[in-house]
Amino acid sequence: MKRLSALILTGVFGAALLHLPLAASSATLPASNASEIATSYTDLVTQFYKKVDPQRVLDSVHASLETTLKHDGVKATLRPMHASELTQANVRAIDLAVENAQHLAGKKATATELTYAAITGIMQSVHDRWTVFLSPKEYADLNQGLDGTDFGGTGIVIQVDPVTKYITVSNVVPDAPADKAGIEQDDLITAIDGISTKGWSINRASAHLRGKEGTKVTVTILRDGKTLAPITLTRAKIHQQSVFEKMLPGDIGYVAVSVFGKDTADELTTALDRLQKRGAKAFIMDLRDNGGGYLDAAVGVSSKFISSGPIVSVESRASNITTLEANDTAIAPVPLAVLVNQYTASASEITSGAIQDSGVGTIIGVKTFGKGVVQTIYPLGDGSAVKITTARYLTPLNRDINHRGITPDITVQENKHPRFGDPKDDVQLSRALSFINDRLVHLNPPATPASGSSSGSPR
């Protein structure tokens, strides 16, 4: 998803229904509300990737307004609207319907509430699950989910160790206080501020590790069976990560990508660099449960493994096709496996499809979600927005995976209650490790002893 911004009847009295013509409205729609309606209508009919029927739009607005009135306890029916060939006339008809609904509702509904209902109806008219109106809170939540949040903390990503029941370090945010203090992946945090963490939940531990920037917290670390001296950390501003890395047995780097946000490609670059410095010979990228994100983030992530050529083709209205190419940031070729499941969708399918079509990696898991369309977000003046499906995408080999998904090269069903990232309790990851190890053996076969020589060590 690529975001646009500054940078994406006559009255029947005594009965259950009251019928009033649009002209009976005495309310005047605020200019800001009228502007949002006009923008939303125009964006939909001009940018939606299929032709839009104006009459269906007006009918949908009518139904949405009546539903809102009913929800607010207003028993009324609005006069149906009739579409014109002129956009301005249709927008004015919607404005009048909102004004009339406001007149009927009185103090039971605001102009903004009814404007939102109208815009919701505009978006619902095309019967596309991805084309929706976003309230200011929904839009802010969407951006927060994609771009992450900032908070005061130590930079430790934690899990509960299933054996000891202590808190374990699953990842350390680069350059965060924990990283600078030498805390490492797989360390056990046995105490926080002198209190044992045995049996703690992740939420309880997070509440103790997070806090106001500049405050201190002391952790006790158990590493390789030895308890280290308590480490006091000064909390700092931490940005929520979308990429997490760890080194798996056999020097195989593992990177889990949770979402395709604005910083994801840069975070992946950092993660791969850290793993390469630790001697990673191959990589496993985990895209399971990744519902997607920004289109340019998918191109950036794919470009870390694909050195050149197409990543994705975007086909918009009127069959206009734009092909996005790799951006020349790829690492040196090494064995690569990509984990996917039924919740791998949208931008993560773009990356999976590009890697599969280019042959630089092997897809392992189960068939992906099958969301092969692209949305553009158009912000509105009050912090709300409309999200509209503006194009469909095709993989480098021109595959349309919408409603079809991507079929893995190696199908492996997910085990019950897996712990993603833990080969001992993650069947799909275990299979990926086996595949990568086989590839490494094939690429680097063991030396064959010379004829007549002994393979034993000197004694």
Burial of 138 (0-12, 13-18, 19+ CB in 10 A): middle
Tokens representing residue 267 in the block: 């975070």
Query: Is there a contact between 98 and 37 (Cβ–Cβ < 8 Å)?
Result: yes
Instruction: Specify whether 371 is catalytic.
Output: yes
Q: Is 384 a catalytic residue?
A: no
Q: How many CA atoms lie within 13 A of 41 on its CB side?
A: 28
Q: Catalytic residue among 2, 246, 371, 387, which?
A: 371
Gap between the Cα atoms of 209 and 234, Å rounded: 10
- Residue pair 359/338 in contact (Cβ under 8 Å)? The answer is no
Q: Using CA atoms, how far apart are residues 43 and 51, in angstroms rounded to an integer?
A: 12
Assigned token pair, 404: 């079809």
Q: Which residue has the tokens 């509440």?
A: 207
64, 303, 346, 358: the catalytic one is: 346
Q: Can you point out the beta strands (E) in 71-183?
A: 77-78, 132-134, 150-153, 156-160, 167-172
Q: Are 123 and 388 in contact (CB under 8 A)?
A: yes
From 43, 296, 357, 426, the catalytic residue: 357
Sort strands 2-3 and 373-379 into parallel, antiparallel or unpaired. Answer: parallel
CB-based contact 64:119 (threshold 8 Å): no
Alpha carbons 222 and 191: distance in angstroms, whole number:
9
229-261: string of b/e by CB count within 10 Å (b at 16+)? eebebebbebebbbbbbbbbeeebbbbbbbbbb
- State the DSSP H helix or E strand holding residue 315, giving kind and residue range, or none if neither: strand 310-316
* Residues known to be catalytic: 346, 357, 371
